[in-house]
Structure 1
Amino acid sequence: MAKLTLQNLQKKYRPDVIPVKDISLEINDGEFLTLLGPSGCGKSTLLRLIAGLEAPTKGQVIIGEKNVNRTPPGDRNMAMVFQSYALYPHMTAAENIATALKLRKMPVDEIKRRVNEAAQKLELTSLLNRKPGQMSGGQRQRVALARALVRDPEVFLLDEPLSNLDALLREQVRAQMKQLFKEQNKPVVYVTHDQTEAMTLSTKVAVLNQGTIQQLDPPSRIYSHPANEFVASFVGSPQMNLLNLSCQENRAILGEYQLALPRFANNPTRIVLGIRPEDVTIASNEAETTIMGRVYLVEQLGKENLVSIKINNSEKTIRALLSREEDWQDKTISLALNPSKIHWFDLETGDRLG
């Protein structure tokens, strides 16, 4: 067992191209850390630095107590699963899984035992004699996972391994992966831009943007208490409502409505209100803060409708997840915003207030 530690890691290609900027992280045994962020945020570069496929400009990669900056990728005892399956097309599934073990000159009986054990865990036993061209995308990705598993590495690294699968296969393989890595009790670093994967698989999520960590927390904390406007907008589907509002006397102005602000150290003149569509509801009593508006768009999502409403006497719009049983189109409705579910962000910095 080995803890993975990153200390002040940076990668600079040119003075103006720095995909990873001074990142420090600690991933313990049994932790599943997801690096989540948009394309170009630095997450794949960070994974390559950990794997040794690129050298850091500064900082350290430490496994256990050992600095592995100068250790070649093949000697770091890490297993990496890529977005592309990277299987040998002329080999069977069993031969692909056993590749790294044969390179280590492991005894034949031990290789067979490990291959069969991994195949059983990933439901590949009946496919071991097939070549990659005879398997589906989901089966090939499970072979790639099994190949990583049999190595018994100190750290697992996964670079968007499910992105080439269709939605149903992604869900199936994701469920298998969650149980599989829980049993391994090793540090796992997983790269994705898919927030569903991040929220369902992870024990911790690092949200990245422009080479820096915006927030590092368990998934539930990322969702319920975003550290800044970027995290609030990136995590959550449908996306959080973010409204740029003016302030007067500790109140935010939304059209003809006024919303009480918490007590902040400095009274802002403008502020960003954030609230998730599921926290915008139909007003049910006079005690709620109500906002009137007219529905101009209804999007059917299955069990609910995503309803877009233009607020009275305002250019602002807000979206709410409402019952699919109602016909909301062109209706004027009264909305309630739960004060405990409202997030406030600084207009200039984007940082969370309060």
Structure 2
Amino acid sequence: MAKLELKNINKTYDRKTIPVKNVSLSVDDGEFLTLLGPSGCGKSTTLRLIAGLEEPTRGQILIGDRDVTALRPGDRNISMVFQSYALYPHMTVYENMASPLKLRNTSANEIEQRIARASEFLDLNTDLMHKKPGQLSGGQRQRVALGRALVRNPDVFLLDEPLSNLDALLRERVRAEIKQLFEQQNAPVVYVTHDQVEAMTLSTKVAVLYEGNLQQLDPPGRLYTHPANQFVAGFVGSPQMNLLTLRCKGHSAELGNLRVPLPPQVPTPPHVVLGIRPEDVRLCEDGDALTLPGRIFLVENLGMQNLLSVRVAGAGDNTITLRALLPADRRWEGDDVVVAIVPDRIHWFDADTGDRLA
């Protein structure tokens, strides 16, 4: 198999439209990389550049030891699964899966063997093989699209939001199938999505993009616990992280009547952004050092937990809103509460640049 590498890739349509800006990353054999970000961040353009459907303005794309930057899509030995499945409606399942192999003049015996292996793994039984896409469910069509990609034995797999057309329950099931499927493949996988649950559950690495720039490239766990900047902190995680711009005094940030010490290695700026995830805001217990009294003004029932929005008195006439995940074992609305924030779960960001401070 082959390593995929992007070196300083840029794509410019005009002076004002630069969807991909100097992106460099690599995906080794067996790695599953997800390109994650909001609409317009450059993730789909990056995938199209890898596929050869777009040509970079500057930079190199390498697959193994081959520079494929100028090669046509058909010469790159990649397989791509699209959001729309892109199945031929007039062909049967078998014919759809066989089509890329026939274009490469693969022998009939080899085609039959590869399709048999892929269909068995994807649970596409014999009855389905003779049906056309219009006779299949969304999940079955998605498996056929995956099967067509698998039979090629490509150097790189590319998947462009393949689950976005499925309903929530089916998406969850197919997501689990995709995870099992690609754990048994040795080729690099690049997956595009705006859904952070897909990114966190499927990937060995996640590349977060925003406005064409690579914000962070890390395993999912590190992305969550050590976001590189304020954008990543706010984008990754549901419910969203509390991000509070606070005034500094001495070597502390003023959060209501509370003084939150800054890390020793951080110089004291005029203002700083404190980040704390809702699951790290809890009811006050004896011994808690960082506690805040407030009043609940909104309760969102999430099933096993409630997401509470709490108004906390700020400096002067200002109020601060903190969101906290608390058990759903009592009614909360309108209550006065005292919440505590976990000191070692606080994230600090520069108020001007958004970069992580510690």
TM-score (norm 2): 0.97
Quote the Cα distance in structure 2 between the aligned partners of 1:350 and 1:312: 25
**Does 1:351 pair with 2:355?**
yes
**Could you say which residue in structure 1 is the equivalent of 2:107?**
107
**Could you say which residue in structure 2 is the equivalent of 1:239?**
240
Identical pairs, percent = 61
Letter of the aligned partner of 1:311 in structure 2? V
**Does 1:321 pair with 2:325?**
yes
**Could you say which residue in structure 2 is the equivalent of 1:21?**
21
Contact 2:34 2:205 in 1 (8 A): yes
Quote the Cα distance in structure 2 between the aligned partners of 1:57 and 1:206: 21
Instruction: After TM superposition, give the deviation of residue 12 of structure 1 in Å.
Output: 0.5
**Could you say which residue in structure 2 is the equivalent of 1:263?**
264
Instruction: After TM superposition, give the deviation of residue 288 of structure 1 in Å.
Output: 3.0
Question: Where do residues 274-313 of structure 1 align in structure 2 (5 Å cutoff)?
Answer: 274-313=275-314
SS of residue paired to 2:216: strand
Deviates more, 1:122-131 or 1:155-164: 122-131
**Could you say which residue in structure 2 is the equivalent of 1:193?**
194
SS of residue paired to 1:231: helix
Runs of 4+ with deviation above 6 angstroms: none
2:346 to 342, 345, 349: 342
Letter of the aligned partner of 2:289 in structure 1? E
**Could you say which residue in structure 2 is the equivalent of 1:229?**
230
**Does 1:50 pair with 2:50?**
yes
**Could you say which residue in structure 2 is the equivalent of 1:145?**
146
Letter of the aligned partner of 2:172 in structure 1? E
Quote the Cα distance in structure 2 between the aligned partners of 1:230 and 1:214: 8
Quote the Cα distance in structure 2 between the aligned partners of 1:290 and 1:18: 45
Quote the Cα distance in structure 1 between the aligned partners of 2:140 and 2:304: 31
**Could you say which residue in structure 2 is the equivalent of 1:136?**
137
Instruction: After TM superposition, give the deviation of residue 107 of structure 1 in Å.
Output: 1.5
Instruction: After TM superposition, give the deviation of residue 265 of structure 1 in Å.
Output: 4.2
Instruction: After TM superposition, give the deviation of residue 268 of structure 1 in Å.
Output: 0.9
CA RMSD of aligned residues (A): 0.9
Q: Residue by residue, what CA displacement relative to the aligned partner does 1:191-237 show, whole Å, maximum 9, x if unpaired? A: 00000000000000000001111000000000010000000000000
- Unpaired segments ≥5 residues, structure 2: none
**Could you say which residue in structure 2 is the equivalent of 1:68?**
68
Letter of the aligned partner of 1:338 in structure 2? V
SS of residue paired to 1:316: strand
SS of residue paired to 2:184: helix
**Could you say which residue in structure 1 is the equivalent of 2:335?**
331
Deviates more, 1:98-107 or 1:200-209: 98-107
Contact 1:156 1:186 in 2 (8 A): yes
Letter of the aligned partner of 2:337 in structure 1? I
Quote the Cα distance in structure 2 between the aligned partners of 1:205 and 1:30: 14
Quote the Cα distance in structure 2 between the aligned partners of 1:288 and 1:247: 18
Aligned residues: 354
Quote the Cα distance in structure 1 between the aligned partners of 2:313 and 2:57: 54
Instruction: After TM superposition, give the deviation of residue 109 of structure 1 in Å.
Output: 1.6
Quote the Cα distance in structure 2 between the aligned partners of 1:7 and 1:132: 39
Letter of the aligned partner of 1:321 in structure 2? L
Quote the Cα distance in structure 1 between the aligned partners of 2:173 and 2:129: 19
Quote the Cα distance in structure 1 between the aligned partners of 2:223 and 2:108: 46
- Unpaired segments ≥5 residues, structure 1: none
Instruction: After TM superposition, give the deviation of residue 94 of structure 1 in Å.
Output: 1.0
Letter of the aligned partner of 2:186 in structure 1? N
Letter of the aligned partner of 1:98 in structure 2? A
Quote the Cα distance in structure 1 between the aligned partners of 2:181 and 2:213: 30
Letter of the aligned partner of 2:158 in structure 1? L
Quote the Cα distance in structure 2 between the aligned partners of 1:242 and 1:329: 23
Letter of the aligned partner of 1:100 in structure 2? P
Letter of the aligned partner of 1:33 in structure 2? L
Contact 2:288 2:340 in 1 (8 A): no
Quote the Cα distance in structure 2 between the aligned partners of 1:294 and 1:162: 40
**Does 1:124 pair with 2:128?**
no
